[in-house]
């Protein structure tokens, strides 16, 4: 594993060091595109993986949107995973669990999941590491299963500059830590289409503020 990748993983683990768990008792995302897309590609009774689950909002929201059989959130950050497991305990959610791991620890789940969700994670990983992450997500997905890749808004480079980030080779850094793999939509589609069939692109916003620069979601299928 290269140094840049180790540093970014460490950054995210520290980021969740003081995270507090929540009690999440139901759906909170109102965005139509998000809800429609999740319901369209994730069927009742499915098994779903969230790769890079962080504090777990994506998988928990998905679990309140569709009646899935089982959801597993995986994240390399022990701090994030501990917080998520406290949240699901406090929320009395029984069909989800969160585990510590990464692209190298998914061998028990080959062809296991009907869908894989990943939120704001592929876009924080360097290209060198991303290839293996994508291959791992592919191997745990059943044929005809869907991969839902949500990434951050398409902020202009000036936005990052104004906030004090550095830009190197079209990627975003702060304090020499890799923070964003800044591909265009077409580049993401082309990159992921090496392994999956591209199905749909949607945008969604989780707040009024995000309506100016909405989050992006690409839907792919394993064929």
What is the binding site for ligand SAM (CB under 6 A)?
9, 12, 52-55, 57-58, 74-77, 80, 102-103, 119-121, 124-125, 133
**Least separation in angstroms between CB 157 and ligand SAM:** 19
Nearer to ligand SAM, 121 or 182 (CB): 121
Nearer to ligand SAM, 13 or 95 (CB): 13
Q: Tokens 């928990």 label which residue?
A: 60
Nearer to ligand SAM, 9 or 47 (CB): 9
**Least separation in angstroms between CB 61 and ligand SAM:** 10
Which backbone phi and psi does 129 adopt, to 5 degrees? -85, -30
Nearer to ligand SAM, 55 or 216 (CB): 55
Give the nearest residue (CB) to ligand SAM: 54
**Least separation in angstroms between CB 176 and ligand SAM:** 17
User: Which is nearest to 35 in space by CA: 194, 123, 148?
Assistant: 148
DSSP 73-124: EEES-HHHHHHHHHHHHHTT--SEEEEE--TTS-GGGTT-EEEEEEES-GGG
**Least separation in angstroms between CB 15 and ligand SAM:** 7
Lookup: tokens for 54 = 């962080």
User: Which is nearest to 218 in space by CA: 193, 204, 199?
Assistant: 199
**Least separation in angstroms between CB 22 and ligand SAM:** 13
Can you say whether the dihedral through the CA atoms of 178, 179, 184, 188 is positive or negative? positive
């Amino acid at each position: 594993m290269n140094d840049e990748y180790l540093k970014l993983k460490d950054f995210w683990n520290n980021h969740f060091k003081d995270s507090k768990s929540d009690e999440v008792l139901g759906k909170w995302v109102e965005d139509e595109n998000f809800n429609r897309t999740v319901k369209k590609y994730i069927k009742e009774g499915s098994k779903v993986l969230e790769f890079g689950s962080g504090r777990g909002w994506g998988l928990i929201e998905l679990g309140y949107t569709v009646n899935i059989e089982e959801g597993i959130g995986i994240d390399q950050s022990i701090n994030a995973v501990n917080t998520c497991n406290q949240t699901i305990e406090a929320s009395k959610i029984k069909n989800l669990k969160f585990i510590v791991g990464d692209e190298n620890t998914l061998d028990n789940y080959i062809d296991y999941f009907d869908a894989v969700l990943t939120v704001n994670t592929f876009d924080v990983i360097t290209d060198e590491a991303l290839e293996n992450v994508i291959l791992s997500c592919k191997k745990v997905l059943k044929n005809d299963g869907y991969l839902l890749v949500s990434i951050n808004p398409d902020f202009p480079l000036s936005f990052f500059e104004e906030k004090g980030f550095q830009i190197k080779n079209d990627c975003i850094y702060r304090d020499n830590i890799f923070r964003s793999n800044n591909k265009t939509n077409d580049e993401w589609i082309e990159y992921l289409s090496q392994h999956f069939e591209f199905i749909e692109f949607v945008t969604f916003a989780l707040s009024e503020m995000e309506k100016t620069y909405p989050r992006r979601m690409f839907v792919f299928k394993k064929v």
